[in-house]
Amino acid sequence: MKVWGRADSTNVKKVLWCADELGLDVEHQPLGGRYGGLDEPVYREMNPNGLIPCLQDGDLVLWESNAIVRYLGAQYGAGRVYASDPKRRAGADKWMDWASTTLVGAYKDWFINRVRKTPETRDSAAMERGLRVLREQLAVADLALARQPYLSGDDFGMGDIPLGCLSYPWFELDDQRPDLPHLEAWYHRLAERPAYRHRVMIEIS
């Protein structure tokens, strides 16, 4: 099994974290960003979008991070990362898609300006707009986590992975955050997981 993509990419983190949770032996090939290679013909043949991550598992080639996480869970983690009960699985699916649609645009507005731009080149309006939406939307997750320990339900699962990858910078950077105690408790539970510490809690860049 092989995964292409730079380790500090949020979407690549999802895949590598999931693979570690399942104890899979994965060859990781850094690609994209400072590593380049996204426009190489051999990579474009696998992923014509020229984006990361990309997974090869035997004769299967798969892109789109959430799809890869779902595949790994179904193939290697059924009943664990990937719930066998359709209702529980749908609940996890919901949070995966929520993080990747409702939240990620605002997250990029905040993160790119906060981390990857200098004070002189930041779009302060976009950063503040992103912060405002993040604060509003993360309250939705906090409310859910007041009723259950994980977004996936009673146990950790794939529904926790997308937001878990976004949460590390959110909690570790020195911005003012709203008091969301259930979300913070959930984050600390993730931080106790060796796979999370190994794949997600790395240098923020």
Domain contains 118: yes
Domain boundary among 76, 102, 124: 76
pLDDT tens for each residue of 135-167: 999 999 999 999 999 999 999 999 999 999 999
Q: Cα separation of 153 and 86, whole Å?
A: 13
Domain contains 205: no
HSE-CB for 41 with a 13 A CA cutoff: 0
The total domain count for the chain is: 2
Domain contains 81: no
Cβ burial of 59 (10 Å; 0-12, 13-18, 19+) is: exposed
Q: Does 176 have pLDDT greater than 90?
A: no
HSE-CB for 142 with a 13 A CA cutoff: 15
Domain contains 101: yes
| Judgement on whether residues 31 and 94 belong to the same structural domain of the protein | no
Per-residue pLDDT at 205? 82
Domain boundary among 76, 96, 119: 76
| Judgement on whether residues 61 and 90 belong to the same structural domain of the protein | no
The CATH number of the domain holding residue 151 is 1.20.1050.10
pLDDT tens for each residue of 14-61: 999 999 999 999 999 999 999 999 999 999 999 999 999 999 999 999
| Judgement on whether residues 30 and 96 belong to the same structural domain of the protein | no
Range of the domain at 57: 2-76
Per-residue pLDDT at 126? 96
| Judgement on whether residues 61 and 97 belong to the same structural domain of the protein | no
| Judgement on whether residues 144 and 193 belong to the same structural domain of the protein | yes
Domain boundary among 10, 41, 76: 76
Task: Report how far apart the first and last C-alpha atoms of the chain are (Å, whole number).
Answer: 26
pLDDT above 90 as % of the chain: 96
| Judgement on whether residues 24 and 110 belong to the same structural domain of the protein | no
| Judgement on whether residues 142 and 191 belong to the same structural domain of the protein | yes
Q: Does 174 have pLDDT greater than 70?
A: no
pLDDT tens for each residue of 59-79: 999 999 999 999 999 999 988
Q: Does 88 have pLDDT greater than 80?
A: yes
pLDDT tens for each residue of 99-147: 999 999 999 999 999 999 999 999 999 999 999 999 999 999 999 999 9
What rounded mean pLDDT belongs to the chain? 96
| Judgement on whether residues 162 and 186 belong to the same structural domain of the protein | yes
pLDDT above 70 as % of the chain: 100
Report cis status (omega within 30 of 0) of the bond before 53: yes
